Amino acid sequence: MCQRPGPVNDATLVQIVDAALADATRRSGDWLACRPGCSQCCIGVFSISQLDAQRLRNGLAALTQTDAARAARIRTRVAESLARITPDFPGDAATGLLPEFAEPSAAAETFEAAFEDFANDEPCPVLDPATGTCDLYASRPMTCRTFGPPVMDDAGGLAVCELCFHGASAEEIAACTMHPDPDGMEEILTQELQQQTGAHGSTLIQFALRD
């Protein structure tokens, strides 16, 4: 696995999101329970963009150069995880892609129900089980970068980690809301990557790092 150039502004996107996280963390104070070793959010699969996937692959390629043993352990965990989840994967196991639906349909509802119940107890293969920390933290997907503080969900509500903000009022939670990508840069860069490579569609971390 070698590093491949991606959208030149991906580093800028990461800086913007990380700055938003730092600001939300400061405002959240003790309401935020996230600490190194707290890895509940690393259990269960979730979809990632092709931009996330390429960032992860580049991170693993870089780690191979600096800490080959650590990178090899990630690859072993990836292979073991794929062996467990592939038989029930509700997408295309050959490509690792999840289906895309342009509009609501019976097929979309069937997939969403299947994915909701899929591999909920599967640990992320990038999670070091000994330390409870991420072995590719600097290259982690956007979902991982925004988990913890309150984030506006697609329905207009605030999504909050169940371990955080215990006892906080709705007003206190709202005051800590994170706005990670106000200009929609992630979508723009994902489309740019698609034009460069032809890669499209969502996938999983396991498939993104598959040898």
pLDDT tens digits, one per residue of 41-58: 999 999 999 999 999 999
Helix (H) or strand (E) holding 133: strand 133-134
3-state SS assignment for residue 94: coil
Task: pLDDT band for 139, please (50, 70, 90 cuts).
Answer: very high
Averaged pLDDT score across all residues of the chain:
93
Locate the domains of the chain by residue range.
Answer: 10-208
Identify whether the C-beta of residue 86 lies closer than 8 Å to the C-beta of residue 93: yes
Give me the pLDDT at residue 50, please: 95
pLDDT > 70: percent of the chain: 96
Task: pLDDT band for 86, please (50, 70, 90 cuts).
Answer: very high
pLDDT > 90: percent of the chain: 81
pTM of the model: 0.91
Q: How many whole angstroms separate alpha carbon 106 and alpha carbon 104?
A: 7
pLDDT of 82 strictly over 80: yes
Give me the pLDDT at residue 44, please: 97
Task: pLDDT band for 4, please (50, 70, 90 cuts).
Answer: low
Give me the pLDDT at residue 5, please: 62
3-state SS assignment for residue 26: helix
Dihedral of alpha carbons 61, 71, 12, 47, sign: positive
